[in-house]
């Protein structure tokens, strides 16, 4: 049985401009110890998906619906706030993109780290401090016994991100939801943080959902990938098969439009025409159809669903042009 099983998750925001369907029927599962990539552009619903799993979508304006978010036999969406709080930060932890805004500037690193331990593990202040120092050491922060008494503004961006990771891993969570953990960092620091996450995963067997828009990061760190567009999953595959043969035209375009260090620098970059649709005002049919270079008449009338590929039952795509088990084409 999967560690985490998300079934038909839908999140909508009721705004003045109409109903924004930020996540529209997303289903996926996460196995123990694996890293699942969640890829897409800004506004595709990747972060909202993660927030919804932990019940962090404010209501109003947000409304979360699903056929269940199963974690160890519990449906997370059915739990009370109290019960959810026991899981949040403890068994499922989250790392946010911007460590400057997600750490509390008024508290020392120690207070931010020990809070979780006192709350979830009932540790004494002194034991919690010891554990916090060793956690900082684990994420490669030099002289952790001094750093623990500092405030976030005294740390560099890379250091702060390490503190966030240390905080996420304090309670040895089974699932780590990492939302663009390296996007705000420079490449040399990003390489350090990704190495660190890989290393910690090997040691603790944590399963990671890695939200990112960087296909290079996805290629190097994930086992499987979900590609999102306009709030929907358009393709699911193992990382190696996705990059070897992307099926959905959006995935194909996305991979082709990344400039590469080993590509031909004199060739024009492939680019996807147009821009992502307005989620409050989605086109009829496939949401990618207006930008798609393989568009058929049918694409602007009906919505394709995510189905297993005929050629590879471990992969799924939602496109009429791809041969699927449902016999769409």
Query: Closest Cα to residue 160, out of 191, 185, 133, 196?
Result: 185
Give the x-and-dash track for 136-165 against another protein (CB under 8 A): --------------------xxxx------
Cα angle value 13/17/18 (rounded, 5°): 55
Interface residue with another protein among 1, 16, 126, 188 (CB under 8 A) is: 188
Nearest CB to another protein, comparing residues 188 and 313: 188
Query: Closest Cα to residue 161, out of 181, 141, 186, 140?
Result: 181
Per CB under 8 A, does 243 bind another protein?
Answer: yes
The Cβ of residue 156 has, within 10 Å, a number of other Cβ atoms equal to 11
> Total number of residues binding another protein (CB under 8 A)?
45
Cα angle value 297/299/303 (rounded, 5°): 145
Min CB(36)–another protein separation in Å: 14
Min CB(182)–another protein separation in Å: 9
Interface residue with another protein among 2, 7, 19, 41 (CB under 8 A) is: 41
3-state secondary structure labels for all residues of 181-227:
CCCCCCHHHHHHHHHHHHHHHHHHCCEEEEEECCHHHHHHHCCEEEE
Binding to another protein (CB under 8 A) within 68-127 occurs at none
Cα angle value 324/326/329 (rounded, 5°): 60
Interface residue with another protein among 103, 215, 228, 233 (CB under 8 A) is: 215
DSSP letter for 298, please. Answer: G
CA distance 200 to 192: 12
Min CB(158)–another protein separation in Å: 5
Interface residue with another protein among 204, 270, 283, 295 (CB under 8 A) is: 270
Nearest CB to another protein, comparing residues 157 and 283: 157
> What residue ranges bind another protein (CB under 8 A)?
41-42, 156-159, 186-192, 194-195, 213-220, 239-240, 243, 253-255, 257-263, 265, 268-273, 275-276
């Amino acid at each position: 049985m999967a560690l985490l099983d998300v079934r038909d998750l839908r999140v909508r925001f009721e705004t003045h401009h109409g109903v924004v369907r930020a996540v529209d029927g997303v289903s996926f599962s996460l196995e123990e110890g694996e890293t699942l990539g969640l890829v897409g552009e800004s506004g595709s619903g990747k972060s909202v998906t993660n927030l919804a799993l932990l019940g962090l979508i404010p209501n109003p304006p947000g409304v979360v619906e699903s056929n269940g978010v199963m974690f160890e036999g519990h449906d997370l969406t059915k739990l009370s706030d109290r019960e959810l709080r026991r899981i949040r930060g403890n068994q499922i932890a989250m790392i946010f993109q911007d460590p400057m805004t997600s750490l509390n500037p008024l508290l020392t690193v120690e207070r931010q780290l020990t809070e979780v331990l006192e709350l979830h593990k009932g540790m004494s202040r002194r034991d919690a401090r010891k554990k916090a120092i060793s956690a900082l050491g684990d994420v490669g922060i030099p002289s952790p016994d001094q750093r623990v008494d500092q405030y976030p503004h005294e740390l560099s961006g890379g250091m702060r991100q390490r503190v966030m990771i240390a905080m996420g891993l304090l309670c040895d969570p089974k699932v780590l939801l990492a939302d663009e953990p390296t996007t705000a960092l420079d490449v040399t620091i990003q390489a350090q943080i990704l190495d660190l996450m890989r290393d910690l995963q090997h040691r603790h067997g944590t399963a990671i959902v890695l939200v990112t828009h960087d296909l290079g990061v996805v290629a190097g760190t994930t086992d499987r990938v979900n590609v999102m567009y306009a709030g929907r999953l358009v393709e699911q595959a193992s990382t190696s098969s996705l990059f070897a043969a992307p099926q959905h035209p959006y995935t194909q375009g996305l991979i082709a439009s990344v400039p590469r260090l080993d590509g031909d620098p004199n060739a024009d970059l492939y680019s996807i025409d147009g821009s992502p649709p307005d989620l409050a005002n989605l086109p009829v049919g496939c949401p990618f159809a207006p930008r798609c270079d393989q568009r058929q008449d049918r694409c602007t009338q009906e919505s394709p669903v995510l189905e297993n590929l005929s050629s590879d039952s471990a992969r799924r795509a939602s496109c009429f042009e791809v041969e699927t088990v449902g016999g769409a084409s």
